[in-house]
Amino acid sequence: MQTISTIDPSTAHVLETFEPFTAIRLEATLERARNAFSDWRTTSFTERAKNLRAAAGQLRSRKPDLAAVVTREMGKPIIEAEAEIEKCASACDFYAEHAPGFLADERVASNAALSYIAYRPLGPVLAVMPWNYPFWQVFRFAAPALMAGNVGVLKHATNVTRSSLEIERVFRDAGFPEGTFASVIVPGKDVEKMIDDPRIVAVTLTGSEQTGMSVAGAAGRNLKKTVLELGGSDAFIVLADADLDAAAKMAAKSRFQNSGQSCIAAKRFIVEDGVYDAFCERFVAVTEQLVIGDPRERTTTLGPMAREDLRDTLAGLVKETVARGGRIATGGHELKRDGFYFEPTIVLDVQPGMPMFDEETFGPAAAVIRARDADEAVRLANDSRYGLGGNLWTRDLDRAKSIASRLESGGVFINGMTASDPRLPFGGVKHSGYGRELSWFGIREFTNIQTVWIGPDQSHGAGGTAAE
C-alpha cells in the first residue's frame, strides 16, 4: 500500500510518512462511529457542552504546539496559525452556549392540541476537509454537528495528516466518547466508497469545485444530504467615494493573508475609473511592505504556498494573464529559495477572458480591473461562475446596501474584510456551493427537521385537513 507523506513547504523536505488505513481499520472506524451515535444522540445539551468546552480548553492550552503543526505542514505564518487555533476554541465556546437555543423545540399553532418543530440528529457525518485552514475548516463543522448530537468522521487533506490526527486527539482528550469524532487516513479516491457506506448519513465538503461535483454526485446517488463550500473568486469593489487608504490596507490583507490561499480571499479588485490609479498606487505600496520569509518567524507576514504544484499553477495563471494584456505592477515570479515561495503579485488592467479574471486565483496574486462606474462594477463582479463572498468600499452606506442586494454572493462585507464568524451564516451560491455553515443555519443543516403533531384540538371542533 502506498504511503502518505507530508512536506514542509518552506523547505520542500519530507516531515512524516503515514500508512493509510487498511480496509479492516476503516471498517472498524465506521462501525465505532455508528455505535457511538446510538449513545451520543441521547446525551443532554449540558453533557455535550461540557465536552465541547473541554475541547476549547485543550485547544488553548496546546495552542503553541498545534499552531506549530499547522505552520510545518502547510506554511501558514505562525501568528496566523495561532489565531486559527484560538478561533476554533471560540467556536467551541459559542456552540456550547448557543446550541440549546438554536435547536430548541419550536411550537407552531395548527389544528392540533399541540404541534411543534424538533431538530433531531442524523448520525455519522463525513467531513471532507482541505489543507488551507486545517483546524478551522474542521471545527466550524464539528462544533455545531457534535452539539446537535451527530458524530463526525474526518477525511482530511493528506498534506495535513498530522493536523488531522491532532484534531482527533483534541476531542479524545476533551472526554468525547470513543467513536464520536474520528480521523481516517485514506487517499482521496476512497471518499466515494465512504459515501456509499450506509453508516455515513451525510457529507460536508470544503474544497475545490471539481471535488464538490464528485462528492455531490456520489451523495446524490445515495440520496444523502450534502453541504458544499467550494471555490471563490471574490470581488473587492472600490467606488470613487471610498476611503482609499483604508481600502488599500484591507485589500492587501484580504488578498495576501494565508499566502492568498483562501476561498473567501478577495481576488478580483474592481475599481471605479476615477480612483483607479490612486488606489493601485496605494495597493502596491502596502503590498511591497509584506515580509516574506520563514513562517516560523514571528516577523513573517507572507509564507510559502502549501505545495509545489499550487505554486506552479499560480505562476501559469499570472504568466498567461500578462500574455493576454495584463500588466504587472509588482511581483510576478517564483522566489529563488528553498520551498514553494511566490512573490506577492499585483496584475493591473485585467479583463474578462483572462485567466486571473475567469479562474480562481489561489495564491498571492491579485487581479485589478477597471470599471466605468458602479453599475459596471456590479456587472463585472457578477460575471463569474463563483459566488462565495465579496467586498464593497464606499462612504454612502444607503447606496452600499442597495448595491449589496444586486451582488450574486453568499456574503457582502461593506468597508471591511470578508471572514467567517460563528454568529453569521457562511456559504455561497453558483459554483461556490450550497448550504450554510455557522450560525443557527449551519447547526440545523445536519438535523432532521421533524414535525410533531399531537391532537386533534378538541377545543374548536374536530375540523379536518386535506390529505397530501
Catalytic residues: 229, 263
φ/ψ of residue 277, rounded to 5: -65, -40
Q: What is the 3-state secondary structure (H, E, C) of the chain?
A: CCCEEEEECCCCEEEEEECCCCHHHHHHHHHHHHHHHHHHCCCCHHHHHHHHHHHHHHHHHCHHHHHHHHHHHHCCCHHHHHHHHHHHHHHHHHHHHHHHHHCCCEECCCCCCEEEEEEEECCEEEEEECCCCCCHHHHHHHHHHHHCCCEEEEEECHHHHHHHHHHHHHHHHCCCCCCCEEEECCCHHHHHHHHHCCCCCEEEEECCHHHHHHHHHHHHHCCCEEEEECCCCEEEEECCCCCHHHHHHHHHHHHHHHHHCCCCCEEEEEEEHHHHHHHHHHHHHHHCCCCECCCCCCCCCECCCCCHHHHHHHHHHHHHHHHCCCEEEECCCECCCCCCCECCEEEECCCCCCHHHHCCCCCCEEEEEEECCHHHHHHHHHCCCEECCEEEECCCHHHHHHHHCCCCCCCCEECCCCCCCCCCCECCEECCEECCECHHHHHHHCEEEEEEEECCCHHHCCCCCCCC
CA distance 368 to 354: 12
Q: Which cell numbers in the block locate residue 297? A: 518567524
Residues near 198 by beta carbon (within 8 Å), at least 6 away in sequence? none
State the cell numbers at 22.
Answer: 487498511
